[in-house]
Each structure stands twice: as structure tokens, then as C-alpha cells.
Amino acid sequence: MSIFGSFEIGRKALRAQQKGMDVSGQNVANANTPGYSRQRVDLAAVVPPAVAGVSMSPGNGVVVNDILRVRSEFYYTQLLNTTSHKAYWEMRRETFLGAEVIFMEPQEYGINQYLGDFFDTWNELSSSPESMAVRMGLREQAVSLASLSRDVYLRLQDLKINLQDELTMRVSEVNRLAGVLSELNDQARFVSALGQKSNELLDQIDLALEELSLLVDIRVNHKANGTVEVFAGGRLLVQEEHNFPIKLKYDQEVDRWQLVSYSGSPLALSSGRMFGLLDAVNKDIPSLQGELDRIVENLVTEVNRIHRSGFGLDGETGNDFFKEIADNGIPASLQFAVHDSILENAGLIAAASRADEPGNGENALAVARLRDARMDGLDGSSVIDYYRGFISALGVEGRESERMTQAYHTAESQLREKHLSIAGVSLDEEMLNMIQYQHAWNAAARYLSYVDQMLATLFHELGR
């Protein structure tokens, strides 16, 4: 190697160590930047060419092969999946917590308490069938029970509507993120066409993917040019610089909301907040409303059946206590109301089993015994037992969603910690790297100084 070749070695060394210092500075600058993956300089010794008749030189210096983005694809993929499942269970937990607040159980203002008071008042009427005060108290208790049932149903409906509104908003958010990814893909493809790459651009893509995984379960294919191909619920969402928006569709045939792709194919979701929203809107809340309707319908049917066989203070019989539940498409809970005739005259409450028999409260006692009577329409349970079982099942679902949320939260924290242990910036490590690059740069500069002195000595000797 000539003495001028030695200058080239020194020049390459200075550039390589300077690049390493720049990379460490970039890592330190982004130590707290969300989604940033630390970078590392990939240095390699330059292999000298083999020339016949020329002795092999010790080398031609150093070259920067690449600036690598340090990360673990395995942990990152697992993190996306876990984050998506955690978002699903968080949504279910919010749904059941909201429902539990609406039912207000176990509290003195819940339906269970009002049902108990309703049957207690019938029992009291059986002991004092002529008392107008007790009759009016029973009427008001029945009005309160019906009003509370309607209120619970409507509040559940409000919760459902709010979740539908959020579902619409989340659809727009998914489409926005798909647009962001398509733009980032376009930039990555352009950079790749120039023979370069941008690690920061790839970090932005990963950050958008993580945000998207909170909403829907995604499958990602990474391309050699840095772009990503994204599938949501098994349907194509992003490809190169193109994105294919999803839509929210109501299927009247099955009475369900669906997420469909740009071509109209339904998305087969298995996790993500939007899957939880769909479950809440299509299954969970309608199921709660359906159970409430079932309880109301059976209560009205059985109370009216016994009431029609009894006699009021005026000796009349065959009257209903509640309004009949009509098969007109209106939920039973919203039709739940005391009959108009009872509202106008509490004396028509049929407490007696026979007409014109003072002190007869046998019919009122028969209604009171419905508290423990098994009803075929409630799977052989009494109305109070069935309601309590229904509320217990709601509590079990809430606790299960809480448990699963905590489990996935713990798993996500562990995976994120492992991922950050690889991809995250360690300030201590970067400080050591900067010291190493500084010393190496100083040594390379000193090396060039020595070579310069050698060259000066050579010219001096040649000039003598």
C-alpha cells in the first residue's frame, strides 16, 4: 500500500466514527420518542483487491455497510396480537360495567327490590282487602315497578346507541389509519427506489400498525422495499400506496351490524375494540334487553291470569291488572304498564276470590305467592329467582371480562418490556458508544497526523 493509501484509510476511519457518533446522537435525541427503535452502525473492514505480483496489503480501511434498526419482530408481532385482544376485553368490561350501573343491583333502587316490594304489598292486601290505602299503595308500587323496568330498558337502549355512534367513529379512525399507512408506504417505496432506506419512516409505519391493532385484528406482510400489506379481519386493507376503506352495514335479515370491506365482504374479526363494540351492539345489550322483556312478559301474563279470576270491591271480575303485552314489535318492557281501569279506580283490584265477601283476600294472596311460583316461561324458575340469576350471570360476565383484561394487560406489559429491552434506547449504552467513537475518531485523526509527518519527512529527504 502506498503512503497515499494510508491517507485513505484515515479518511474512511474518520467518516465511519463520525457516522457512529451521529447515530448515537440520534438515539439519545429520541430516547423518549414513542415508537422509536434504536439504531446501530454496521461497520465492516474493506477487503483489499488481490493483484498478482503485489503483496497483500493489511486492508483498505473501514466502510459503513448499513445503519440497522434494532428490534425483535417476534416480540413486536406478539405485542400487536396481545394489544388487540386486550382492547377487545377492555371494551367488554366497559359494556358490562355500564350495564351493571344501569341495573343498580344490588341496591334499594334496583328491580329486585321493587319486585320484592310489589309482592309484599299484594301479601299485605290479602290481610286488608278493603283498605283503600293498601290498594292505592299497591297501585303505586306497580306503577313504580313498570316505570323502572321501562327506564332500565331505555337506558340500555341509550347505551347501545352510544356504542353504535362509537362504532361509526371507529370505522372512520380505521380508514384514517389505512390512509396514513398507504401514504407511508408510498414514501417508503420512493426511498427504496433511490436505493436508500429510512428507519424513522419504518418506525412511523410500526406505530400506525400498533394503533390500528387496538381497533381491529390485523395481519401484516412486510415487503422488501419497506412497505407493508395489511389485512383486517381477513380482508385487504392496505396494499402499497392504496387503501381499501371498510364500512359499517346493518343487515336487516339477521338484525345485526357488520363491518364489511370495500367489496362488501364481511370482516371476520376476532379481537380489537371494534369486535368488542360489535359484540356489545349485536349480542350483549340485546340479550340483556331480551331477558328483561322475558321477565316482564311472564310477570304480566301470570299476574293478569290470577287477577282475572278474582273480584274487586264492586264485585266485578275478569279485569286485567297490567296492560296486555301486544305482539306488535314493541318490546314488552316498553309496554309494561298498569291497566287504565286500575289507575282510575284502585277498588277494581281483584283481591277476593269470591264476590261480596268482606275480608276475602285469597286472590291477592295467590298473586303474592307468584314470588316463589315456578313459571314455564322462565325455565321453571320463579320471577325473582330468574331475575337474580340473570343479574348474577351479568356479574359473572363482568368479572370474567375484568380478569381477561388484567391477564392481557400483564402479558402486554411483559412483551412490551422485552421488546423495549431490544429496541429501546439505553442512555448508558449510548454514552459508552459515544466515548468509543470519540476515542476512535481521535486515534484516526492522530493517525493521519503521523502519516502527514511521514510524508513531510519523505519529501524533505527527496528534496535534498
Rounded average pLDDT over 280-299:
95
Rounded average pLDDT over 99-128:
90
Give CA–CA dist 218/272, Å, rounded.
Answer: 9
pLDDT for residue 464: 64
Lowest mean pLDDT among 246-255, 303-312, 339-348: 246-255
302-319 pLDDT tens trace: 999 999 999 999 888 989
Give CA–CA dist 218/236, Å, rounded.
Answer: 10
- State the residue for C-alpha cell 305482539: 327
Among 274, 276, 273, 278, which Cα is nearest to 256's?
278
pLDDT at 98 over 70: yes
Confidence of residue 323 (pLDDT cuts 50, 70, 90): very high
3-state percent breakdown (helix, strand, coil) of the chain, nearest 5: 60, 10, 25
Residue 96: how many other CB atoms lie within 10 Å: 21
pLDDT for residue 2: 64
Q: What are phi and psi of 361, to 5 degrees?
A: -125, 25
Looking at every residue in the chain, the average pLDDT score rounds to 91
The CA angle 376-374-366, to the nearest 5 degrees, is 120
Backbone dihedral region for residue 359 (phi beyond 0: left; psi -120 to 50: alpha; all else: beta): left
pLDDT for residue 447: 86
Give CA–CA dist 189/217, Å, rounded.
Answer: 25
Residue pair 452/11 in contact by the 8 Å Cβ criterion: no
Which residues share a beta bridge with 69? 39
pLDDT for residue 356: 82
Among 86, 69, 78, 65, which Cα is nearest to 35's?
69
Among 403, 413, 397, which Cα is nearest to 83's?
413
Rounded average pLDDT over 183-188:
93
Give CA–CA dist 240/115, Å, rounded.
Answer: 61
Residue pair 172/152 in contact by the 8 Å Cβ criterion: no
Give CA–CA dist 229/188, Å, rounded.
Answer: 13
Confidence of residue 415 (pLDDT cuts 50, 70, 90): very high
123-145 pLDDT tens trace: 999 999 999 999 999 999 999 99
The CA angle 266-186-221, to the nearest 5 degrees, is 50
Rounded average pLDDT over 343-372:
91
pLDDT at 203 over 70: yes
Q: What are phi and psi of 61, to 5 degrees?
A: 95, -150
Query: pLDDT over 90 for what percent of the chain?
Result: 71
- State the residue for C-alpha cell 299485605: 124
pLDDT for residue 50: 63
Distances (CA, A) of 139 to 99, 310, 347: 28, 16, 10
Q: Is the peptide bond before 48 cis (omega within 30 degrees of 0)?
A: no
Q: Which cell goes with 7?
A: 491517507
Give CA–CA dist 352/117, Å, rounded.
Answer: 20
Rounded average pLDDT over 221-238:
92
Confidence of residue 1 (pLDDT cuts 50, 70, 90): low
DSSP code of residue 283: I
**What string of H, E and C letters represents the secondary structure of 122-156?**
HHHHHHCCCCHHHHHHHHHHHHHHHHHHHHHHHHH
pLDDT at 56 over 70: no
Among 79, 169, 189, which Cα is nearest to 409's?
79
pLDDT for residue 88: 96
Q: Is the pTM of this model over 0.85?
A: yes
Q: Output 48 or 415, whichever has higher pLDDT.
A: 415
Residue pair 273/90 in contact by the 8 Å Cβ criterion: yes
Residue pair 269/171 in contact by the 8 Å Cβ criterion: no
